[in-house]
Structure 1
Amino acid sequence: MGPVRYRILGTTQAFRADGTALPVGGARLRTLLTVLALRPGRGVPVSVLVEEVWGAAPPAEAQGALQALVTRLRRALGPGAIVSVDGGYRLAADAADVDLFRFDRLAADGTRALAEGDPATALDLLDESLALWQGRALADLPDRETE
């Protein structure tokens, strides 16, 4: 299937390498994906995921509810996209697969090109970085503090 690309600079979305959108429906499912995409390739503890998805009002069986969400997300993204790790879950992705981190890299490269006296390259890189924005960053996280 190839790597999946993730957008969190706007409504959370996932795309196959060919640009086909993957169905990530439901606010909680998108919240879960956003929290995992903020830490690509790193394990996220169950307690953090429960706090981010449900806030101060988690369900009585929060761990079971989280497992159900992870199962739905795995179905949406394909096999191997969400990996179980000791005490949590990990999005099997690199920072380059998440628009937020691509934005950071492109903006830094554009700024560096400008400082080095290459305004044409800087313009191209900065335009490419700004094109990644599709709306309010982390739009699918509830109105709570996030990292």
Structure 2
Amino acid sequence: MALRVELLGPLRLLVDGVPVDVPGSRRRAVLAILAMAQGREVSRTALVDELWPDGPPQDAAQAVQSHVSRLRRHLGPYADRLRHRDGGYVLELGDGGLDVTDARRLADLDAAGALGLWRGDALAEFVDCPGLAVEKVALDELRLRLRDDATEAAVTAGTSR
């Protein structure tokens, strides 16, 4: 687990298992957006729209570039996993690099295990970013379903929680 982003609670970046502080709400949002894209390219325009939904400043493209550059520093030896491509950016986390992916993968196999990945409200700090707000709703619904499934499994197994 060289590089990991956790979003099922407050954003947390782990580099070689060590938490790395990512200051600034917009820089944190860029990390969350790129992580949630799960290896797909996110255009600079999409990042601008997410970071400034009420209208971007004149230097928005330059500001995005600055946030990405600083984010690379936080990634340390894995900075090369944050790449620029054709007007957009890609963050390649790899297997086990995103708790959201782990929870979704585990959801049908082990509801209690998937539920255990939550450390608080998912994406709560990003409600001002429209795309992440939509993802937050989906993750909140998943969490509710997992609670129901875990409770049902416990009852079926003859235990109570």
Using the TM superposition, give the Cα deviation of residue 136 of structure 1 relative to its aligned residue in structure 2, in angstroms.
1.2
Residue 85 of structure 1 corresponds to 85
Change (3 A) 1:144 1:28: closer
- Count, aligned residues: 130
TM-score norm. by structure 1 comes to 0.80
Residue 128 of structure 1 corresponds to 113
SS at match of 2:96: helix
Detail structure 1 runs of 4+ shifted over 4 Å in the superposition.
none
More helix by share: 2
Cα distance in 1 between the residues matched to 2:105 and 2:92: 20
Q: 2:123 aligns with which of 135, 138, 143?
A: 138
Residue 24 of structure 2 corresponds to 26
Using the TM superposition, give the Cα deviation of residue 85 of structure 1 relative to its aligned residue in structure 2, in angstroms.
0.9
Structure 2 residue runs of 5 or longer lacking an equivalent are 135-161
Identity over aligned residues, as a percent? 36
Structure 1 residue runs of 5 or longer lacking an equivalent are 111-125
Quick check: 1:9–1:139 contact (8 Å CA) kept in 2?
no
2:13 partner letter? A
SS at match of 1:90: strand
Residue 119 of structure 1 corresponds to none
Superposed CA RMSD in Å reads 1.6
Higher relative CO (Cα under 8 Å, sequence separation at least 6) belongs to 1
Quick check: 1:59–1:65 contact (8 Å CA) kept in 2?
no
* 1:4-32, Cα deviation, whole Å (9 max, x unpaired): 11111111111023x21012111111111
